[in-house]
Amino acid sequence: MRRGSAVGIALTLSAACILLMGCSGPSTDGPLQFSASEDTVCAPTPKFKDAALGVLLPGDLTSNITIDSIVLVDAKNAVLGKTSLMPVTTGSRLLLDQYPPTKQFPTNWPNAEPAIGTVIEPRTAHDLVLEVRSNGTDPGRLSGVVITYTSGGRQYVARTHLSLKLKKAASC
């Protein structure tokens, strides 16, 4: 084989590899976007052994989205339990509560539905309610949530920068 042919084949294979790798993973430029600013909430584990962490899915979406998966980022002694979508009504939004948040949201929580597979339409705000379980004895934490979703036949990924600290203390 001539040297020029070998280089041409190598460049073609490299280009194909880059193209395939670029197309294989979800994109971050979808309709669901979160602020890059970081914030932290704290939950005392004696009271919040199962915490309800709320992630606001804004009502300014430009197209329908369907949540495919949800993963905790850098979780230590914290496990993701149930994931639900709760409609946001005027003046109500969940940040942190005991799971399930029935006392804080007696009207909204009964209308919650499973998050995975549910279609969220534009101009409808929802709280993504995550049950975050602690082992109750060791401090726990997570540094965000990754949401993989589909919109318009493409898969996207969005990451929150909301951290949660689960502490053994009675208060944070």
Question: 133 forms bridges with which residues in the sheet?
Answer: 50, 79
DSSP element (H, E) containing 10? helix 3-24
Cα gap 59→70, rounded to integer Å: 19
Of all residues in the chain, the percent with pLDDT exceeding 90 is 49
For residues 22-45, b (16+ Cβ closer than 10 Å) or e, as one string? eeeebeeebbbebeeeeeeebbbb
Contact 29, 116 (CB under 8 A): no
Per-residue pLDDT tens for 50-96?
Answer: 899 999 998 889 999 999 999 999 999 999 999 999 988 766 677 88
- Domain map (residue ranges) of the chain: 39-167
Q: State the pTM of this model.
A: 0.80
In the block, tokens 């149930």 appear at: 82
Cα gap 167→139, rounded to integer Å: 5
CATH architecture of the domain with residue range 39-167? Sandwich (2.60)
What integer pLDDT is reported at residue 53 of this predicted model?
A: 93
Cα gap 141→42, rounded to integer Å: 9
Per-residue pLDDT tens for 94-121?
Answer: 788 899 999 888 888 998 999 999 999 9
